[in-house]
């Protein structure tokens, strides 16, 4: 009885060990991720030397995301959208995906409402930033911290 | 087989702000994934989307690998006259697709 029990335990131990060994090569492959410095550079590339103020922009993204492969995101900007005062473009950035840019959206006064929605990928829990450029070339921003439980498959082995 | 889904109201009153919803089926391969052999899977994404309303561009987007597979984009426009919306998606490896939708403005 005792002998039988220990072989079973040995077998389970071996099986477990094999599973762990099999998983190791997947863990070792991790390409570089974007850094906050890359985020700052990407934002500079869009805004130049202009000052980016907080406000006017509303970034709607769930604070807790189960699946980073498809995260719904909506950006809206408080603007009358007239021919003299409108939103020229909306830019979305992230902090820790391999690349800091997510998308640039160009609109105009004819849009009527300064709002765009899309679905994005998030490779990690991180900050998402939206910046709007208005017709007077001022820049306004909003940011949201998102917690991701299952990261987007940007770096996995297939 | 690429295919687009477009949602535009069939009718609107002049001056109405209408929502346009678009979805293009596409893998949006990021270029950051690897095969088990260690070889990188090459990037294959849609890089640009645009919408023209009676030949005037009303919306344009630059897309990056952080846009989820099957890019879904919604935006708004003011209904000014009856006509056609033309949509265009351009991407890696010569990807190019178009779609259109018409609207009646009263």
Across the interface, do A108 and B69 touch by the CB < 8 Å criterion? no
Q: What is the pLDDT of residues B10-23, one digit of tens each?
A: 999 999 999 999 99
Residue A1's pLDDT is 43
Q: What is the pLDDT of residues A31-45, one digit of tens each?
A: 456 678 899 999 999
- The whole-angstrom separation of Cα A91 and Cα A110 is 19
Q: In the structure, what pLDDT confidence band is assigned to residue B38 with cuts at 50, 70 and 90?
A: confident
Among the listed residues A127, A83, A119, A87, the one whose alpha carbon sits nearest the alpha carbon of residue A103: A119
B 7-36 residues inside an 8 A Cβ radius of A: 17-18, 30, 32-36
Write the ipTM. 0.95
Residues 6+ apart with CB under 8 A from A142: A54, A55, A57, A58, A59, A75, A129, A130
- The whole-angstrom separation of Cα B19 and Cα A112 is 10
Q: Which residue has the higher pLDDT, A30 or A60?
A: A60
Chain B CA closest to residue A25: B36
Q: How many helices and strands (H and E) does chain B possess? A: 0, 8
Q: In the structure, what pLDDT confidence band is assigned to residue B2 with cuts at 50, 70 and 90?
A: low
pTM exceeds 0.90:
no
Domains of chain B and any CATH numbers? 4-105 (2.60.40.10)
* B54 touching A (Cβ < 8 Å): no
Across the interface, do A121 and B67 touch by the CB < 8 Å criterion? yes
- The whole-angstrom separation of Cα B66 and Cα B45 is 10
Q: In the structure, what pLDDT confidence band is assigned to residue B35 with cuts at 50, 70 and 90?
A: confident
Q: What is the pLDDT of residues B52-87, one digit of tens each?
A: 999 999 999 999 999 999 999 999 999 999 999 999
How many angstroms separate the Cα of A64 from the Cα of each of A96, A103, A122?
16, 21, 12
Closest Cβ–Cβ partner in A104, A111, A119 for B62: A104
What's the gap between Cα B80 and its chain centre? 21
The pair of structure tokens assigned to A80 is 């009358």
* B66 touching A (Cβ < 8 Å): yes
Q: Are B30 and B65 in contact (CB under 8 A)?
A: yes
Across the interface, do A116 and B73 touch by the CB < 8 Å criterion? yes
Residue B60's pLDDT is 98
Among the listed residues A140, A84, A72, the one whose alpha carbon sits nearest the alpha carbon of residue A109: A84
Q: Lowest mean pLDDT of A95-104, A113-122, A143-152, B91-100, name the range.
A: A143-152
Q: What is the DSSP string of A17-46?
A: HHHHHHHHHHHH-------HHHHHHHHHHH
Residue B41's pLDDT is 92
Which helix (H) or strand (E) segment holds residue A3: the answer is: helix A2-28
Q: What is the dihedral of CA B2, B6, B10, B16, to 10 degrees?
A: -150
Chain B interface disruption, residue of A34, A61, A109, A111, most B CBs within 10 A = A111
Q: What is the pLDDT of residues A46-75, one digit of tens each?
A: 999 999 999 999 999 999 999 999 999 999
Residue A20's pLDDT is 44
Q: Which residue has the higher pLDDT, A52 or A1?
A: A52
Chain A CA closest to residue B79: A110
């Amino acid at each position: 009885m005792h002998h039988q029990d220990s072989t079973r335990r040995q077998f389970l131990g071996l099986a477990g060990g094999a599973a762990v060994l099999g998983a190791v090569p997947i863990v070792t492959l991790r390409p570089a991720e974007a850094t906050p410095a890359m985020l700052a550079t990407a934002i500079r590339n869009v805004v130049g030397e202009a000052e980016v103020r907080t406000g006017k922009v509303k970034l709607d993204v769930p604070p807790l995301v189960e699946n980073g492969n498809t995260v719904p995101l909506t950006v809206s900007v408080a603007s009358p959208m007239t021919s003299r005062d409108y939103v020229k473009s909306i830019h979305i950035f992230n902090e820790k995906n391999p690349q800091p840019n997510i998308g640039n959206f160009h609109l105009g006064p004819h849009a009527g409402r300064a709002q765009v929605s899309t679905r994005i990928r998030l490779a990690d829990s991180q900050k998402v930033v939206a910046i709007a450029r208005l017709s007077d070339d001022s820049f306004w921003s909003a940011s949201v911290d998102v917690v991701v439980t299952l990261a987007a498959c940007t770096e996995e082995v297939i | 087989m690429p295919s687009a889904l477009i949602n535009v109201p069939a009718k609107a009153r002049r001056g109405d702000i209408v929502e346009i919803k678009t979805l293009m089926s596409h893998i949006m391969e990021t270029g950051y994934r690897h095969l088990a052999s260690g070889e990188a899977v090459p990037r294959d994404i849609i890089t640009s989307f645009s919408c023209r309303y009676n030949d005037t561009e009303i919306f344009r987007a630059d897309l990056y690998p952080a846009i989820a597979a099957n890019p879904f984009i919604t935006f708004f426009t003011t209904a000014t006259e009856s006509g056609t919306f033309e949509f265009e998606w351009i991407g890696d490896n010569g990807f190019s697709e178009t779609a259109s939708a018409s609207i009646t403005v009263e």
